């Protein structure tokens, strides 16, 4: 029992480090967007396409990983992630033009998706009696990694260290997690209903799963679409964008670590509904705040998005378990695919809002502020829709629980 527990603990740590690298790629890319724009002469729309490739690679990897998980297992998927992380980081450093950035970003996105495709079902398996709580603890290291990446990017930028060195910093933790994965023994797959790919595919057509996939496209865009552009959106707000990102993700990490009591008290659907309300308040308040008030608004936003991603995945693991690893991969992939589609749109929003703002004021700084606030107003629509969606889910799940209770009593 002790040996099994130690093995599970080592696997969990390897997964957490791999997710940390995933998050660092997200944070450092957000921190160097302005440098990339200057060095490669890119517009915000073009930067949107670079961001889009990272978010597109993610769902592609998750879909492939989801379909092949029962044949490959978590270890091979994580080795794939390790190889693609190395390739993506090196290709980014050596990129010489827009197309080089697109290809390297896709590799990094594919690596990030492979991490999620391998780790989510692995953790759900080794902690089968505590899935949602442990998935939240695993996903602590996404915001945790963003804190590390955001602070690293800020201090290196302030020190005059270029974007290539900032990318190179991520090679060390990549090598460490790769070494851990290669050496560690993983649990063997056992053919049950949840490890039958055909059974998983059939379960994907359930209305509840489809509904949650649609909701995931909105929760992911609310969280990641806002954070990925934080440097461009809040650059003229009077607050430090990268410090705000570090603060947001630091709060998210703490919240996810102590997710257990929150989830048990409110249940997953209650958590999702509350999160949508608070996220709406947070993004809207950021759209009208300046100076120190931006930090308070960012705290609201952080509280709102903290539990979105892991609780959505945990919900599928608990309430639609027959979808298996495929279901977990596809719902995460749907979220990232949505963000990949919205990134160029957000970039266009920024370009258009900047043009419109310059027709109102000749002050460049004020024009950037107005453009950022306009984009945040647009982003508010995503969590507003989620409030209604999760309210419907709340009533549906309560009705389903009551029906099951009556059936059991009879």
Query: Which one has a higher pLDDT value, 87 or 155?
Result: 87
> What residues contact 352, with CB distance under 8 A and at least 6 apart?
none
Question: Cα angle at 370 between 48 and 36, to 5 degrees?
Answer: 30
Question: Cα angle at 76 between 63 and 188, to 5 degrees?
Answer: 105
User: How large a percentage of the chain has pLDDT more than 70?
Assistant: 94
- At 238 the pLDDT is 86
- At 255 the pLDDT is 86
- At 179 the pLDDT is 94
- What is the set of domains in the chain, with CATH numbers? 2-399 (1.20.1250.20)
Banded model confidence at residue 231, pLDDT cuts 50, 70, 90: confident
Compute the distance between CA of residue 2 and CA of residue 9 in angstroms, rounded to an integer.
Answer: 10
Please say whether the beta carbons of 178 and 5 come within 8 A: no
Compute the distance between CA of residue 58 and CA of residue 330 in angstroms, rounded to an integer.
Answer: 11
Q: Give residue-wise pLDDT tens across range 257-316.
A: 887 777 767 788 999 999 999 999 999 999 999 998 999 999 999 999 999 988 898 899
- At 185 the pLDDT is 83
Q: In the structure encoding, which two tokens stand for residue 316, read together?
A: 């599928």
- At 193 the pLDDT is 47
* DSSP for 296-354, written as a single string: HHHHHHHHHHTTHHHHHHHHHHHHSGGGHHHHHHHHHHHHHHHHHHHHHHHHHHHHHHH
Q: In the structure encoding, which two tokens stand for residue 115, read together?
A: 């991490």
Q: What is the mean pLDDT of residues 173-198?
A: 79
Please say whether the beta carbons of 55 and 25 come within 8 A: no
- Asked if residue 69 has pLDDT above 80, the reply is yes
- At 6 the pLDDT is 61
Q: What is the largest CA-CA distance in the chain?
A: 73
* DSSP for 134-188, written as a single string: HHHHHTTHHHHHHHHHHHHHHHHHHTT--HHHHHHTTHHHHHHHHHHHHHSPPPP
CA atoms within 13 A on the CB side of 219: 32
> What residues contact 401, with CB distance under 8 A and at least 6 apart?
none
Torsion of the alpha carbons at 92, 226, 12 and 76, rounded to the nearest 10 = -40
User: How large a percentage of the chain has pLDDT more than 90?
Assistant: 38
- Asked if residue 151 has pLDDT above 50, the reply is yes
Please say whether the beta carbons of 181 and 79 come within 8 A: yes
Distances in Å between the Cα of 65 and the Cα atoms of 326, 367, 406 are 8, 44, 39
Q: Give residue-wise pLDDT tens across range 312-341.
A: 988 998 899 888 878 888 898 899 889 888
Please say whether the beta carbons of 108 and 92 come within 8 A: yes
């Amino acid at each position: 029992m002790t040996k099994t527990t130690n093995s599970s603990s080592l696997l969990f740590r390897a997964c957490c480090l791999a997710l940390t690298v995933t998050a660092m790629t997200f944070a450092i890319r957000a921190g160097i967007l302005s440098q990339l724009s200057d060095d490669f002469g890119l517009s915000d729309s073009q930067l949107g396409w670079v961001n889009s490739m990272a978010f597109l690679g993610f769902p592609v990897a998750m879909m492939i990983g989801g379909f092949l998980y029962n044949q490959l297992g978590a270890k091979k998927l994580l080795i794939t992630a390790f190889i693609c992380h190395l390739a993506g980081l090196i290709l980014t450093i050596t990129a010489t033009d827009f197309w080089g950035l697109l290809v390297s970003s896709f590799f990094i996105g594919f690596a990030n998706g492979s991490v999620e495709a391998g780790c989510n079902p692995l953790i759900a398996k080794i902690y089968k009696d505590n899935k949602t709580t442990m998935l939240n603890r695993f996903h602590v290291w996404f915001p945790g990694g963003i804190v590390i990446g955001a602070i690293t990017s800020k201090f290196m930028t302030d020190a005059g260290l270029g974007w290539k060195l900032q990318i190179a910093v991520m090679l060390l933790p990549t090598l460490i997690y790769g070494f851990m994965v290669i050496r560690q023994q993983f649990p063997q797959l056992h053919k049950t209903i949840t490890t039958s790919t055909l059974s998983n595919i059939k379960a994907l057509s359930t209305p509840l799963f489809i509904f949650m996939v649609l909701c995931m496209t909105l929760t992911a865009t609310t969280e990641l679409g806002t954070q990925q552009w934080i440097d461009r959106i809040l650059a003229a707000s009077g607050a430090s964008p990268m410090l705000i990102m570090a603060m947001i993700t630091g709060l998210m990490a703490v919240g996810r670590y102590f997710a257990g009591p929150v989830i048990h008290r409110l249940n997953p659907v209650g958590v999702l509904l509350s999160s949508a309300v608070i996220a709406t308040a947070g993004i809207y308040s950021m759209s009208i705040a300046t100076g120190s008030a931006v930090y308070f608004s960012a705290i609201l936003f952080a509280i709102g998005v903290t539990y979105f991603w892991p609780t959505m995945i945990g919900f599928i693991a608990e309430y639609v378990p027959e979808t298996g690893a495929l279901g977990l991969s596809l719902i995460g992939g749907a979220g990232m695919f949505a963000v990949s589609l919205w990134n160029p749109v957000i970039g266009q929003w920024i370009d258009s809002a900047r043009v419109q703002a310059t027709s109102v004021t000749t002050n460049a700084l004020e024009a950037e502020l107005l453009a950022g606030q306009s984009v945040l107003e647009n982003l508010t629509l995503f969590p507003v829709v989620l409030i209604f969606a999760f309210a419907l889910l709340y009533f549906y799940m309560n009705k389903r629980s009551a029906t099951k209770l009556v059936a059991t009593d009879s």
